[in-house]
A and B are shown apart, each in its own frame.
Chain A
Amino acid sequence: QQPVQSPQAVILREGEDAVINCSSSKALYSVHWYRQKHGEAPVFLMILLKGGEQKGHEKISASFNEKKQQSSLYLTASQLSYSGTYFCGTEGSTLGRLYFGRGTQLTVWP
């Protein structure tokens, strides 16, 4: 049930872009994205629903391809505050149960 995230880690300079991918072997109803700072609880970024939508949140956006059961998170012109671990959470036919990937550790250097 756990989605697969890639890459496991990304190191960027401020201003560079990054893409984090999330894929599932099961049909998906929705995909969530969260960011977690070290020692803190995960914080919600966005939800994408079945229907192949795209969403944006400041310079962070995401897409969801339900046919391929994949989602991607796009971080544009990264800032130091973007550092953290990013998790995708997937919801399948059993609505309400959210399964998370192993996370992608993003480090932004000045």
Chain B
Amino acid sequence: SQTIHQWPATLVQPVGSPLSLECTVEGTSNPNLYWYRQAAGRGLQLLFYSVGIGQISSEVPQNLSASRPQDRQFILSSKKLLLSDSGFYLCAWSVRTAGTSTGELFFGEGSRLTVL
């Protein structure tokens, strides 16, 4: 069966510090991978989307970046955190099917980031 792991679950970081959140998927190959951020009152905001290794689409210009060094690994990074980066970060995956709609998204447990 497929599982998705996301870590760390919680972190508190000072403004200006770097960030690295990791996500790995098991039990499937060639998944679509996503990073979403959930901030109060803003719903689930799509940050990055990836269809394959090294293929990253950025949705929102900001000081965050994403990388996909392996097929089932997705990393969210920042060189210098801002207060506005605080939020609940969710990694998700879906089955990749060419030319058809996206299937169900499976979400990780999330990483709660507080920037002080």
- Interface residues, chain A, CB within 8 Å of chain B? 1-2, 5, 29-30, 32, 34, 40-44, 47, 49-50, 87, 89, 91, 95-103
Contacts and interface: CB of A to CB of B under 8 A. Distances in A.
Contacts of A32: 102, 104-105
A78 to B, nearest CB: 22
Contacts of B90: 41-42
Counting chain B residues whose Cβ lies within 8 A of the other chain, the interface size class is 20 to 34
A96 B49 contact: yes
4 smallest A-B Cβ distances: which pairs?
Answer: A102-B43, A100-B44, A41-B107, A30-B101
Contacts, number: 69
B1 interface: no
Interface of B: 32, 34, 36, 41-46, 49, 51, 57, 59, 90, 94, 96, 99-110
Contacts of A99: 46
Most buried by B among A2, A29, A41, A100: A41
A42 B44 contact: yes
B100 A98 contact: no
Nearest to A3: B43
A103 B43 CA distance: 6
Contact of A95 (B36, B44, B102, B104): B102
